[in-house]
Structure 1
C-alpha cells in the first residue's frame, strides 16, 4: 500500500481503522500528513472507498467512545456536512494532532 504525496508533504501519523460505507465495513489506514488526512483501504477491490480530507474542509473533530471497554475513535465533520467516523486505538494522540492542524 502506497500513497502518492504532494510536494513538501510528510506523513506525521498513521493508524489502522475501518469505515462502514454502503452497509459494508472497509478495513484501511488513516494517514495524517502535514497537508491532509487520507483514508486508504487495504485491498485493491475496495480502492474506490479511498478518500482524502483537506484540513481547510474540516469543521469539527469529535471524539467518541462506545461503551466502557469497546471502540473509541474520531468523527471528522466537514464543511459540506459529511461525517467520517474512524475507530482508532490512538484516538487522543491523532485527534490532538488533527485539531492542531486545522
Structure 2
C-alpha cells in the first residue's frame, strides 16, 4: 500500500511534467474521499499516515493552487467534519463503534 501511495504522490501529484493531466489529479482527490467515506471502520495511525501521506505532500510542496484547494476541501475539511460529528456523538452518549483502530 505504501508503494502505491508513493507512486501516487511522486509520479502523480508532484510530477513536474508539462504534459501532466491535472484534471486527473483533481478527480483522484474527489473520488478518494467518496471511497473513504464508505470504509466504515477504524484504522491504525500507521495506515492513516500511509493513506494521507500523498495529500500532506501536496499541501507541503505543490505549486498547483487548484490541487491544494481540492485536497483541502475534499479531504481534510471533510475529515474535520467527520471528527466533529464523532465528538458530538460521544458528547451526547451515542455508542460509537471504535473496534481496535486509532482513527
Establish whether TM, by shorter chain, passes 0.5: no
Q: TM-score of the superposition, structure 1-length normalised?
A: 0.28
Q: TM-score of the superposition, structure 2-length normalised?
A: 0.28
Q: Greater relative contact order: 1 or 2 (C-alpha under 8 angstroms, separation 6 or more)?
A: 2
More strand by share: 1
More helix by share: 2
Larger Rg: 1 or 2? 2
